[in-house]
Each structure stands twice: as structure tokens, then as C-alpha cells.
Amino acid sequence: MAKLYASKSPEVTARERRNGERARKIAPQGMVLLKNGGSLPFKNVKTLAAFGSGIRRTIKGGTGSGDVNTRTVVNVQQGLEEAGYTIVSNDWLDLHDKNCQEASEAFTARIKKLFEQQGMKAFGEILSNPYKDPEVPLITSEHLGTKADAALYVIARTSGEGADRHPVPGDYELTENEKQNIEALSRVYDKIVVVLNVGGVIDTKYFRACPAVDAILLMSQAGNFSGYALADALSGKNSPSGHLTTTWAENYTDYPSALTFSHMNGNTDDEYYTDGIYVGYRYFDTFNVTPAYPFGYGLSYTTFDIHTDEVAINGADVVVKVTVKNTGAVYSGREVVQVYYSAPNDNGPEKPYQELAGFAKTKELAPGESQTLLIRFAAASMASYCEKYASYVLSGGRYYIRVGSSSRSTHIAAAIELSENKAVSVLQNKVQSDVELELIHPDCAPYTYAGEADEKAAAPVLTLDPDSIQTETITYSQAPEEMTTDKDFVITLDDVISGKADLKELVAQLTIEEMANLTVGAARGGGFEATSTIGLASNAVPGAAGDTTSMLIESRHIPNLVLADGPAGLRLSTHFVAGPDGTPIPGLSENPFDELINMGKEKPQRPDDAVDYYQYCTAIPIATLLAQTWDPDAVEAAGDIVGSEMEEFGVHLWLAPGMNIHRNPLCGRNFEYYSEDPLVAGICAAADTRGVQKHPGCGTTIKHFCLNNSEDNRNFINAHCSERAIREIYAKGFEIAVKTAQPLSLMSSYNLVNGEHAANKYDTLTSLLRDEWGFEGFVMTDWETTGSPFHNASDKKYPTSDAAGCIKAGNDLTEPGNAHDVEVIIRSVCSGDGAGGIQFAEEGIRYPITKAELQLCAYRILKVVKKIVESRG
């Protein structure tokens, strides 16, 4: 019988209250004040005319595996009323609720019919076409009959896995009703506050052009205490201090991938990364395209002065000393200081106008108060990857160090002179593009500002000694050797922990069948029809995404690991029913996915001796909001919230954080990801990991590695990208997280990378991840990479990934697992024929693997299992 960690009491726990309040305090630190003519914070405001889709139907986070099943969601109206404000627009809000209720019932009826007709295949429809609220009703004169002290309009947008967004009204663009509603408010109110309850970029031209819109606040999606957190920000109780981690363009077509991204050109089989390294601000600055809001931008209720005191070279590091002063007279606040560098562009690979090197955030500064910050970064981090020499190289010449509060407010603080080219890392080209890419190149002068030339001329020049930079040369793995043992007793994990045997000796005793089962998730019975295929595989923790095998518990004392979705908290069943022996009863849990699976089926009879269990978790702010805090301590605190709940409910691995790059604003899962900049993404993922992994037996699973930057046809899309762009942009964040935090696991992505499935790509999963970066954990696939009933490969240009190919590549665990995956691995194992040749069990296998390769994957999984068991005592 599985041990159940869930509570038998439905009452709100002290942990729920504590973690909810912690999340509430974090959220305003990542809310971004985009505009403020004086309407915020609210002063002498007691009544509010509150309209918009996000007032009552506040979105806490995105859909799909990024969702969190919480006890409740505090909406904006509840948060404002709790803070003492009176809402005078309930008639309009009631009308919108009625329309949404009718639309939701119609959607549910349609999906129920699909399940009756198609079975589990209907789930693909839910991912690609999820429910969305209908258009908001128009505001009429009757709705404006009661004049309030202030007007508030909250725009809400949602997205999720399985489908990308569209540049159309109701998604990226505003609807006509939303525009007309703002106009209706402007006829009554001189100043309107607009709040954006969105997970990604939307078009803001209309708001910025409307004189009556006095303030714009990017609330983002702040978790299940969203309403409280927003009320804190609007009232000034907890001032917003966020800065953008993604460039918000003036027009969607300003993004370099706008017309070719995902479905935009009608081709979702192949994605050509012709923008190369020019992603986000690297593009906007280098190609001199003016954004609506630049990367790093954010206002405050007060003002700040940023003064660079000194730039110094300390060994192989650059240290920037900056003093920040709150120059306002009324409000306290926090400011973000960003340090960029401009590399010499007259030799070596072409460089962007500037790149982020480091950042820091002040404490809460009272009016007149100052704080001095030290921002340190390695000089070697300014190197560019040169494909010609397969090396990271610091180009000889002059580097300009820039300091500011956004990418468009930087000023030159110093220059660093390097006398010669210096190799930082000597590598091998491992991820070259499989096609000839027509990469974009700047054909104009980059962005500049008045006085930049004078700043360059006046900048103090520091000399960087090339000998202070060590050159790292990587040695790559060879074929693994088979593990052996001379022990004649049955080795268990207990024996390994006590020192009676080595872990490799335990692996050496395992049969091929045992190792195949260990390297495939625990979903078995029914193959593709198993309900676990959509992330409900755990018996010990109902609603969790999956488990490793429990087949070795008795024979080898190897426990199974429980894996739960993220990245905005744990996604578990809030309520489930189990028999007296602790076995959960299928069909009686409260979980949206479970309810979909059983839609149209008769609910099973509840036994008289059944026991109720509860798993209420906290929805923390989405990853983008966390990144917008620019505060690793705040991100770590969010990870700590999740880690505490993992420890309580018996979860070992959190399938998060997501850290793919915001290449294009239409990616359906951008809310799960941190930034367009890999440094921000890497630092945030490392902080999240530290927060989780301070809890015994808890680990993160950084994902999705790599190039999972779109959702349409995500299982079969082939991402064609240059080696330099992969290394400098799309893999760099993963590298930072691995080297600085060592997450226990990593998830490979669905897509193909330059012609080969990411889960089957040795060069990324072994050469980069392990040989170059020193990753010590194990790698798992994303769910159903080897096939499923709701993404059929028969009509696709590219095939599914292969379970044996995962083993060969160093993708240790295939999830959620099915009997076919186990069979493929067993059939694919080959052995020497005694003459240096290879013998195969069967013909026609895609990826022949050796026993040693299978052992290595089993060893890496067991290494993490051992670490978790030891840490939990």
C-alpha cells in the first residue's frame, strides 16, 4: 500500500495561510508600472467603477500543466473589497458572469460529446482549443449611473500548453468592445487606471494613445492571492517595483520572427531561427527599432537617481559600484540597476549593440535614502561563440560598460581594453544547423542617444590582462564501459547507503528488464490508454504527473519517485477518496484533468469505509512575474513555498521551472518562462532551484531543453537553429542554472533540434549538458514524446522520438511510460559477438544500444534516488 501524505482534514491549514501571504508579498515586486500620471497609488478613493474581464474572472496563471489546483482564487473584486474599496459596477459584472457561465456550459457540453465520440483523443482538442471567456459586454449609461471616486479597467488574457497565441482581437490585440468600453469610461472619468492581468505581451497602442488612460499597471498573473496582491499594489501598501524581462514592441510585426513564427506562415513542421542571436532587446537595439516598452523598463511611485561610483577589474571579474538614491518626497520604493556591455565589433563574430552582464535590486528605500550596490560579473561572460574555431572567444578591443534601469536608459560608465583575442572555452561544434540558414544581419546603424559619442570619449579605460582569463578545454565522453561486480549477494539500495556495496555494483546486478523498467515511467497497464498519459500517474500523490517504477521496492529496496507538475506551484488533486488500505479510488478525485477523463462516465460508487484526503496547494506568481522582480531572493522564496509543499505531500521532483526563451510573444507557454534574456532566465531558475532543494528530498526539473519556443505541433516541429544562437541564447540559461544550482533533474523538450528529437539528441543531453556543464542529475522526457493517442505521428512530417534513442542520447527516463517503451528498450539492447561486432536481438530497431548505455541511465536515476532517500532519512 502506498503511503499517503495528504491531510484528512478539509480545513484551511496554517501552511496555506502562511504560503499564501508569502506569495502575496512577492507578487507586487514583479508587477510593472508602465505609466502613471498621478492616479496611482489611489488617494482619497473609496468607491471604484471597476470593469473588464479580469475583475471577477481574474486569471491566476496559465492553462495546462502550468495550472495549479488551488482551494480558491481571490479575484480582483474580492481583493479590493477586502482592502476597503466599494465596487459600484456590479450590474455589468453580473452580466459578464452570466455570459461566461453560458459559454462555459456550452464548451463543457461540446467536450463531453467529443469524449463520447473520440475517447482520449478529445483531450488534444482541449489543449489546442481551450475554453476562453466570451467577449465582454459593452458598458452602457446605465452601468455608469453611480459615479465613483476612480475608474479601473482590468484586461485579462489566458494561454497555455498545446497552442500558440494569435495576433487577433481578444488575444494579442484588444477587442472592439474593450476599446469602446474605455471610450465610455473616458466620457465620465478624466483619469482611468488600466490593469493588465496577462501572462504575456499584448498590444498597448490604444491605451497609450488614449488621454484618459492615466495609469497602466502590468499586474501579470499573481497566483491564487492575485486580488489581494493587486489591491496592495494599487493602494501603495506594497508598491510595484517590477521591471520588464521582455521587450514590448510597438507593433507585433516589429519582432524579427513575427511573420514566420509557428502558425504565422502556415508551416508548423519546421521553424527556421533566422533571427539567430538577435532576440529581444538584442534585436531592437542593434537594428534600431523603437519598442513601446524596452527590456528592463519599469516605473515606481517614487523617483531614483542612479550614480556609478566606480568600475574596477578584480582579477578575472568586473565589479561595478553603484549608488541609488530615492529622490522622491513621499513614497518608498525599490529600484533595479542593470549593467550591460558592448563588445568590440571589428573582429570575430558580429555582436549585438549591448548585452546584459549583471543586475541588482535595492532594498526598500525611504524618501532621501541611498544604498550602494556591487554588481560583479566574470569578464569571460562577455565572450562570443565562434563556430569557426568552436570556442568562446573574448575579442580583442574595447568593451563599453553601461549602467541604467532599462536597456534604453543605459549610459557608459567605463571602457575595458583587451589587447588580443582570448579563448575562454575550447569546445567542439555539437549542435550545428542541419540546413543553411539565411540569418539576419544589421543593415543600419544601431540605436544611439544624444551624448553617447561623448561618453565613449570620456570613459575611463581599464586594462584587462588576457592572462587573468583561464582557458578551459573540454574533454568529451567516450562510449561507457559495462558495470560489473563480484558481489555474490543480492545488493539493495540499503547496502549501497550503508557502504556494503557501490551503486555501480547494484546496477551491475540489475537485469536488462529491470533497467528497462527503471528507465521508463510507471504508467503500464493499458499502454496508450492509461489515464496517466495526461499527467495523473501517481498513486501515492493523486494528481501528480507520474512516478518512477515501484517494481524494485521489494527486491532492491529502491523506492519510486513522485513527479508533480509546475511551474506556478504543485498541480495535485485537491481532494481524493481512498479505501481503508490507502488505495485511491479512480473517478472520485477533484482534479480538472481527472474530471475530463471521466466526463460522460458514471461516477463510481463510494464505499462506506472510504476516507477523504485533501491536497490544497499554493499557486505562486507565474515565472514571468517572478523574473520581473529582478530579485533572486524573491524567486528563491517562491521556490521555498513550493519546496515546503513538496515535502508535506511526498513529492520528490517538481517539473519546473520552465525557462525557455521569450523569442516571440505568441508562444502559448511564455507565462511559464522567465525572459527573453538567458542571463535572467538562468539566474531565476537557479534561485528557484535553491528554494526548492533546501527541502530534504526535493528537487527541480528545469525544462524544456531546448528550443521549445512554440506550442503548435510541438511534438513534431523541427527547430533549425545556428550553433551560436543555441549556445548564446537558447541553452545559456540552462547552463547557468546547472553550473550554479545543480537541479536534480532536467526535462528534454518535445521538438526536434536540427533534425533530431531533443530527447534523442546525444550532443545536447551528453556533450553540452554533462561534458561541458557538469550536470550531475538525470534527464527525463516530456510526457508522451514516444507517442500518444492525441498526437498521432502518422500524418506528420517527422516521427516520434524513440525510447531506445533516449537511452543512447543520455535521456535517462521516458515519461510517463508505457509497456511499448519498455519493450523497445529491451529489444534494442545489443551485445558483442566476441569479434568486436554487434549482435542485435531483432532487426528493424531505430537505435541499437549497449548494455553499458542502459546501465549508465539506470545509474544516474539511482544516484538521484539515493540522494533523495539519504536526505529524507
Region of residue 784 (phi > 0: left; psi between -120 and 50: alpha; otherwise: beta)? left
Please, what sign has the CA dihedral across residues 75, 81, 87, 91? Answer: positive
Asked whether the bond before 706 is cis by omega within 30 degrees of 0, the reply is yes
Contact 415, 344 (CB under 8 A): no
The three cell numbers of residue 857 are 541511465
Q: Are strands 745-748 and 752-753 parallel, antiparallel or unpaired?
A: unpaired
Phi, psi of 786 (to 5 degrees): -90, 5
- Residue of 275, 334, 343, 277 whose CA lies nearest to 303: 334
**What whole-number distance in Å separates Cα of residue 827 and Cα of residue 450?**
68
SS3 25: helix
**What whole-number distance in Å separates Cα of residue 59 and Cα of residue 862?**
39
**What whole-number distance in Å separates Cα of residue 577 and Cα of residue 178?**
44
SS3 314: strand
**What whole-number distance in Å separates Cα of residue 567 and Cα of residue 654?**
8
- Residue of 682, 835, 710 whose CA lies nearest to 773: 682
Kindly state the DSSP code that residue 220 receives in the 8-state scheme: -
Triad 542, 543, 547: Cα angle to 5°:
75
Triad 195, 196, 198: Cα angle to 5°:
155
- Residue of 591, 732, 584, 567 whose CA lies nearest to 653: 567
3-state secondary structure 526-574: CHHHCHHHHCCCCCCCCCCCEECCCCCHHHHCCCCCEEEECCCCCECCC
3-state secondary structure 336-384: EEEEEEECCCCCCCCCCCCEEEEEEECCCECCCCEEEEEEEEEHHHHCE
| Catalytic residue flag (residue 782) | yes
**What whole-number distance in Å separates Cα of residue 225 and Cα of residue 76?**
9
DSSP secondary structure, 105-158, as one string: HHHHHHHHHHHHHHGGGHHHHHHHS---PPPPPPP-TGGG-S--SEEEEEEE--
SS3 265: helix
Burial classification of residue 821, based on how many CB atoms lie within 10 Å of its CB (0-12 exposed, 13-18 middle, 19 or more buried): buried
For cell 480538472, name the residue: 592
Please, what sign has the CA dihedral across residues 724, 727, 730, 736? Answer: negative
Catalytic residue among 495, 677, 782, 821: 782
**What whole-number distance in Å separates Cα of residue 674 and Cα of residue 662?**
8
Q: How many CB atoms lie within 10 A of CB 27?
A: 33
Rg (CA), the chain: 27
- Residue of 132, 139, 170, 167 whose CA lies nearest to 153: 139
Output b/e per residue, 336-363; b: 16+ Cβ within 10 A.
bbbbbbbbbbeebbebbbbbbbbbbbbe
- Residue of 246, 274, 254, 446 whose CA lies nearest to 352: 446
**What whole-number distance in Å separates Cα of residue 832 and Cα of residue 816?**
31
Looking at the annotation, which residues are catalytic?
782
